[in-house]
């Protein structure tokens, strides 16, 4: 029996391929009757993203399909994250999308990546922040979190400033979105590599 996780990964792969195909068709579609082709392809990718998100939620938060190994969940959700961000950013490349909407899309993508930066850093220091909570040392934990949140805020504000500067400096949504997407992929792979080396007990 094919596991639901495998189906989700397969659909994510197809969705990412469709997004890449959307960009290719956008470049080569020069005839007036071909203008809507990239939009149609993007809509198919969007539909696949909706299905993949549902599968991901089922696998991550329930056991409706049985036990799913944490590594499988992580890899599957990595694909979902990349596909969701790609779907958002590729929409801004379609014909008829003005610079105002592109700015909104880029800012949304920036917030998604910044949230991932928070998760990335918190994975390193989360255990130290929560140290002592089992013994009721809530004040100790809160004190540590205040300092860590300050550092995280500075880092995330700096990242936001960097991404906005890139958009302003290049004056190109395409280049800025490409950089943002590449940066997100790098973060995702670093997270997978870092967590992949950790031993995590699993239950059947």
75 and 141 both lie in a single domain: no
Could you list the residue range(s) of the whole structural domain that residue 33 is in? 1-97
Nearest alpha-carbon partner for 156 in 112, 95, 189: 112
**Cβ count near 60 (within 10 Å):** 14
Backbone phi, then psi, for 191, in 5-degree steps? Answer: -65, -45
User: What pLDDT score does 80 carry?
Assistant: 93
**Cβ count near 165 (within 10 Å):** 11
Q: How many domains does the chain have?
A: 2
39 and 136 both lie in a single domain: no
User: What pLDDT score does 204 carry?
Assistant: 47
43/48 Cα distance (integer angstroms): 9
Q: What is the mean pLDDT of the chain?
A: 84
How big is the CA angle at 83 (ends 79 and 89), to the nearest 5 degrees? 150
Q: Which tokens sit at 3?
A: 């596991």
pLDDT (tens digit per residue) in 123-156: 776 666 666 556 666 777 777 778 878 888 898 8
78 and 45 both lie in a single domain: yes
111 and 130 both lie in a single domain: yes
204 and 104 both lie in a single domain: yes
User: What pLDDT score does 162 carry?
Assistant: 94
pLDDT (tens digit per residue) in 90-122: 999 998 888 999 999 999 999 999 988 888 777
H-run or E-run covering 49:
helix 37-61
152/146 Cα distance (integer angstroms): 10
Burial class (CB in 10 A: 0-12, 13-18, 19+), 163: buried
The residue behind tokens 């130290």 is 128
152 and 118 both lie in a single domain: yes
């Amino acid at each position: 029996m094919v596991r639901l996780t495998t189906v989700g990964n397969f659909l994510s792969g197809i969705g990412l391929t469709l997004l890449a195909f959307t960009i290719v068709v956008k470049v080569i579609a020069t005839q007036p009757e071909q203008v809507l082709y990239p939009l149609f392809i993007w809509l198919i990718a969007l539909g696949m993203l909706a299905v993949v998100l549902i599968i991901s939620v089922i696998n991550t938060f329930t056991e409706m399909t049985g036990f799913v190994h944490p590594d499988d969940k992580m890899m599957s959700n990595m694909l979902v994250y990349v596909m969701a961000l790609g779907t958002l950013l590729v929409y801004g490349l379609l014909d008829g999308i003005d610079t105002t909407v592109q700015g909104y899309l880029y800012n949304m993508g920036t917030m998604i990546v910044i949230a991932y930066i928070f998760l990335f850093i918190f994975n390193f220091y989360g255990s130290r922040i929560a140290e002592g909570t089992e013994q009721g040392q809530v004040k100790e934990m809160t004190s540590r979190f205040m300092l860590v949140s300050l550092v995280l805020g500075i880092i995330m504000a700096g990242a936001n400033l960097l991404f906005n500067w890139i958009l302003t400096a290049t004056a190109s949504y395409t280049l800025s979105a490409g950089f943002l997407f590449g940066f997100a992929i790098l973060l995702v792979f670093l997270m997978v590599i870092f967590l992949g080396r950790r031993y995590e007990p699993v239950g059947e």
